[in-house]
Structure 1
Amino acid sequence: MTPSLNVDEETKDRLEELQAEIRLRTGREVTQTELLRQIVDRGYESRGEIIDSFNESAVPLSEDEKAAMQRGRFSSGNETTESDVDDVLYD
């Protein structure tokens, strides 16, 4: 049997909201115990980091996967700045 943890209603509500957001964004059901363990073990700085930790795609790539991605890269010889990217995305 798992020992209980007493939390106030506001904290419980926030945990439930976070559980729901994880379910919506990752498709995974997580228990409050899993959620608390993840928060305590890893010491996240933001809500987004906590949610992403339950998303399987957030798992770091293996060295073979990184090498496969880099094989398809090439240099066009043109330097791209952040503003160049912003112009393409937002204009």
Structure 2
Amino acid sequence: MNEIKQIEDHLFRLTPPEDSLLFEAKIILDSNLRSNVLLQQQTYMLVQQYGRKTLKAEIDAVHQQIFTNPEHKNFVSKILSFFKK
């Protein structure tokens, strides 16, 4: 778990510059650590992509609910009027 925390701190730039430089040297020297850093970095990217995809789905659902529900007709008209010239 200590290595995971060190990798996380390095990836999110939470370590002081001198510690970061030392950790980068360790990455160069230790192929197992280098592999773990890459895997953890990929994991964070996947989590971020999933979060974006989930947020987009939620926004689309709200959009569908507002723009298809007749009770929101006045609100939709006001919103659309902003984009008309």
Same fold (TM over 0.5): no
Q: Which has the larger radius of gyration?
A: 2
The higher relative CO (CA closer than 8 Å, separation ≥ 6) is in: 1
Say which structure is richer in helix. Answer: 2
- TM normalised by structure 2 equals 0.26
- TM normalised by structure 1 equals 0.25
